[in-house]
Amino acid sequence: MNDGVVEAELAPDGRAARWEQHNLERRKTLIEEAVRAIRELGPNVGMDEIATYAKTSKTVLYRHFGDKNGLYQAVVESVHDFILRKLPFQKAAKLEPHELIRELADSYLAVVERDRNLYLFVTSRPAGETPV
């Protein structure tokens, strides 16, 4: 029952969608800067150093990732996606099993060799944290 009151249909708030998109883009940028810091400073890089590379504060990192383990997990996911894009899955149907294994191993090891610090970072875990 509306008692004669006309209810206005509310338009969706575009600000929320823009803010969500901004946060996703900012998070992606922060992950990229974390990867850059890891590559240049080594696998034991700290949140202070990552914040400096990202030209932001640790507070911003904590807002986007919760804690160091959250940032670690985000970097691991990013590296995982990168490695999957580099592996020669398109060739898989054309190769014999032993050739495929060799191709996959060579591709994986090439990525590891090129990004040693990043590899060491993602295969370790933050001090005091549980492994991912």
Q: Is residue 130 assigned to a domain?
A: no
Give percent of the chain with pLDDT exceeding 90.
49
pLDDT (0 to 100) of residue 129: 56
Neighbour tally for 71: CB within 10 Å: 21
Q: How many domains does the chain have?
A: 1
Q: Does residue 24 sit within a domain?
A: yes
Q: Are 83 and 110 in contact (CB under 8 A)?
A: no
- Mean pLDDT, residues 68-86: 90
Residues 6+ positions from 29 with CB-CB distance below 8 Å: 54
* Gap between the Cα atoms of 48 and 1, Å rounded: 58
pLDDT digits (tens, 9 = 90+) for 26-66: 999 999 999 999 999 999 999 999 999 999 999 999 999 99
Tell me the pLDDT of the chain averaged across its residues: 85
Query: Amino acid letter at 121?
Result: F
CATH number of the domain encompassing residue 97 = 1.10.357.10
Amino acid at 6: V
Decide if 67 is inside a domain.
yes
Q: Is 6 contained in some domain?
A: no
d(CA 90, CA 80): 18
d(CA 132, CA 76): 8
* Distance from C-alpha of 121 to C-alpha of 112, rounded to nearest angstrom: 11
Give the angle subtended at the CA of 48 by the CAs of 46 and 51, to the nearest 5°. 110
**Residue 36 structural domain:** 17-122
CA angle 35, 36, 39 (to 5 degrees): 85
Report how far Cα 3 is from the mean position of its chain's Cα atoms: 53
